[in-house]
Amino acid sequence: MAQVLIRQYSMDPLVHALASNPRRRPLIREGCSDSGELAIQIGKAYREWSDSIGPVSSPQAKRGRERIWYETQCIVYTAQEGNDRRGGFAVLQGELIGLHHVDKGLGDWLMRAAVDAGADCLNCFEHPHLLDLYTRHGFRTVSVVTNTTKGGPAVHYMERNV
């Protein structure tokens, strides 16, 4: 069966995929934030964005606001084969987060979609395969920070050449 990218209007499918897929491919565990961190990051950004607009008057207005969020501020895709979520990514206000896939060789496919969805910055651990992938898609390192975890790889902050 062929894999397809499915646009999501909730962070839940990507968070669930990121929670289960590291068990299927250890490289995901080494190169990605965990699902809890991803959920917190998206939730915090949503609250800040929503607060900047003002209060909502009804549950329907809240659902409408959430739909606008996932249409304009947090673009989420999962890579699926049938009902099996094999990877995905989010572009949170221009920042690529949570990019992962359990099958080798599909990073370029996901990166093309992420760039099309508006990814213009990201951060990643200093793993050659990650730096090569992102560089192939127009990203360049703008700063490098020592990992706060002793012995962990440095963190590269990258921006896309536009």
pLDDT tens digits, 45-93: 999 999 999 998 899 999 999 999 999 999 999 999 998 898 899 999 9
H-assigned helices in the chain: 12-24, 26-31, 35-53, 59-72, 107-116, 128-136
| pLDDT score for 28 | 65
Enter the pTM of the model: 0.90
Residues in contact with 107: Cβ distance below 8 Å, sequence separation at least 6, in sequence order: 99, 101, 133
Residue 123: closest CA among 78, 159, 80: 159
Domain layout of the chain by residue ranges: 4-119, 120-162
pLDDT tens digits, 81-123: 998 898 899 999 999 999 988 888 889 999 999 999 999 999 9
The three-point CA angle 35-132-142 to 5° equals 80
| pLDDT band per the 50, 70, 90 thresholds, residue 12 | very high
